[in-house]
Amino acid sequence: MKLKRYLIYWLKTSELTFESLIADKLSSTLFISGKLLRFGFMLGFLLAIKEKIKLVSGYNIDQLVIFFLIYNLFDLVGQLFYRGVYWFRSDILSGDLDFKLVKPINPLFQILTSHTDWLDIPQLFIVVVILIIRLPHVAWQNVLVFSLLSLISMLILTAVHIFVAALGVITTEVDHTIWIFRSLSGMAQVPIDIYSPSVRGFLTFVIPIGLIFTFPAKALYGLLTLALIFWTIGFALVFYYLSLKFWYYSLKTYASASS
Amino acid sequence: MKKYWLIFRLSWQNALTYRLNFVMWRVRSIIGFLASYLFWLAIVNSNQNIAGYNPSLLLTYIFVSAFLRNLVLSNVSYGACVEIAGGDLSNYLIKPLGYFKYWLTRDLADKALNLSFFSVEIIIFYLILKPQIVLTQHLWLFLAISFLAALLYFFLSFLISTYAFWHPEHNGWPFRFLFIMLLDFLSGSSIPLDIFPPQIVKIFQVLPFSYLVFYPNQIWLNRVNTNQIINIFLITSFWLIAFYLIFRLVWRRGLKNYSAYGR
């Protein structure tokens, strides 16, 4: 019953977002073109250096392309569902968060899913098609682990967005925080193994970008040990739990200013 | 002149009043630089020569790009777009103030502020990362072309802002978004453009974007001869004049179309 209510809410807000996007077709076209260009340029760059570079930290360019595609897959899914956090700052400044807090739907759900980004769908479709074409033969066990780690990846991604929203409530700063995360996550367009051990440690244990983007891709190639898989699951659960704790703490500091 | 000096000072005060905002902006800038540097460092660790770039040339390219990003590509004049879209432009049109000069001053203030912080950051990162930096033989030419590139980017950016005269939706952001995506790649701010096949490099040569970061960078790296330097200056000047004239034309037409939405 509760799930049905959430589904109806999400479908309704998504429908409204979609209507606002098609009401301004030129803007939507420009946004989609920009996203496709960014994706195409990076893919083109990787393919252009194929002849000039043999290996990067043990990975060949074809493998780097797969890592790049999987990065895009999770990045796009994250933006598709959680774009709402980009609008959250105005809610805090204006005090409109009050309206979300009094509704019989989890305020976090309302905040994160308030703007389903349909403009990411064309790129997502292209990424999936290229991924299917370019992916080498993968053992079914690896596909299974990839599927499991994809769910874990989404859980961590959700937790990151919760952390950003909570920080927003405390500091009224959201835009830069989410963009800092986006800039950092850009480092995972390539496997984080190519970086020095300290950077790799930071991107795994502090800001778990490696777990979100690199680990699922490594699972496809069977490059993860069982211990690492269990460790990732454990980390994700703790990280998610902490994000919720932080969110509830942040609400205690919310002053409902301007409302 | 006095009023523009006041605007310059006010811009600094404004930026330093919202300190958290400014610090976060600098953090983003540093992450962008580090991400690019570490990516290329990993590549040069496995490959000693990439399209004529040895490790020190490539890593210097990233350092110089970071400088050019702060000097050339840092810009606040996108605010003009918001003011046109929201009707706030009207406030300026009735004041004894040149709107174009107003934003040029604010842009200069922003560049000066960014560069002053960048200078400290880059020294710290140089001491930590200890890269082998290639020193230029054309310091004055590099500074001169960087100044022209900054001016060229200002005209380009202001031209993009005029889009809001006709499409004020989303504060004119969609067109700027497309522009930024093009700029990010075609300026060569994170990837040396001559890594691409020669046919594609020829296309880059005729576009104005490569004269913002890539070619000034080539001058620093001593990778161009005297004739090529002259060409770079001539083409940059050509684009500068062309975009200035286009901007004036579009601005006049835009003002005729301006209806002060939201006022």
- What ipTM describes this predicted complex? 0.89
Taking the C-alpha atoms of residue B171 and residue B164, their distance in angstroms, rounded to an integer, is: 7
> What does the pLDDT read at residue B23?
86
> What does the pLDDT read at residue A20?
92
| Average pLDDT over every residue of A37-42 | 94
Q: Most B CBs within 10 Å: which of A21, A31, A172, A198, as the mutation test of the B interface?
A: A31
**Of A1-5, B34-38, B257-261, which one has max mean pLDDT?**
B34-38
| Average pLDDT over every residue of A233-256 | 94
pLDDT tens-digit series, residues B149-183: 999 999 999 999 999 999 988 888 999 999 999 99
Of all residues in chain A, the one with the smallest CA distance to B200 is A48
Domain definitions of chain B by residue range: 2-257
Taking the C-alpha atoms of residue B60 and residue B29, their distance in angstroms, rounded to an integer, is: 17
> What does the pLDDT read at residue A259?
61
User: Which range among A36-45, A55-64, A111-120, B234-243 shows the weakest confidence by mean pLDDT?
Assistant: A55-64
> What does the pLDDT read at residue B97?
87
Going by pLDDT thresholds of 50, 70 and 90, the confidence category of residue B263 is: low
Q: pLDDT at residue B48 above 90?
A: no
Chain A, residues 53-82, CB within 8 A of chain B, namely: 53-57
pLDDT tens-digit series, residues A122-172: 999 999 999 999 887 888 999 999 999 999 999 999 999 999 999 989 988
> What does the pLDDT read at residue A16?
94
Q: Between chains, do B31 and A184 touch, taking CB under 8 Å as contact?
A: yes
> What does the pLDDT read at residue B188?
94
User: How many residue contacts between A and B have a Cβ separation below 8 Å?
Assistant: 97
What is the distance in angstroms between the Cα of A131 and the nearest Cα belonging to chain B?
Answer: 23
- Chain A hits for B51, CB-CB cut-off 8 Å, are 52
The pTM of the full predicted model, rounded to 2 decimals, is 0.91
Q: Between chains, do A183 and B195 touch, taking CB under 8 Å as contact?
A: no
> What does the pLDDT read at residue B262?
67
> Who among B21, B174, B197 is closest to A173 (CB)?
B21
Annotate A88-97 with b (16+ C-beta within 10 A) or e (fewer): bbebbeeeeb
